[in-house]
A = this chain, B = another copy of it.
């Protein structure tokens, strides 16, 4: 009756690559959000720490020394001086979309060389 039961229970126990990525987004956010005060939002200081550790390459590519302030302002849509998970995710989405476009260009170049 449940020929795939074993397979299903394995898949429930072992998260997929996509599920692991989503879990990481949540865990990384909370790792920094819980550093001081409200554990459900990032203060500017916490966002700074997160970006310096987790997005070091991206941050180095930003020539503007006020990049973090600009990013904080952009992310903090409701202007409460804190970055919620929803607001943080929009940064991750923007960076992922930019990286994916570079990936597409790269694969096109590789294909053109063949």
Interface centre among A25, A30, A107 (most CB of B within 10 A): A25
Cβ of A100: which chain B residues have Cβ within 8 Å of it? Answer: 26, 29, 85
The number of times this chain is found in the oligomer is 2
Find residues 51-110 in chain A having any chain B CB closer than 8 Å to their own CB.
53-57, 60, 85-86, 89, 92-93, 95-97, 99-100, 103-104, 107
**Which of chain A's residues 7-54 have a Cβ closer than 8 Å to chain B?**
8, 11-12, 16-30, 39-40, 50, 53-54
Most buried by B among A11, A20, A53, A100: A100
Q: Could you tell me which A residues sit within 8 Å of B by CB distance?
A: 8, 11-12, 16-30, 39-40, 50, 53-57, 60, 85-86, 89, 92-93, 95-97, 99-100, 103-104, 107
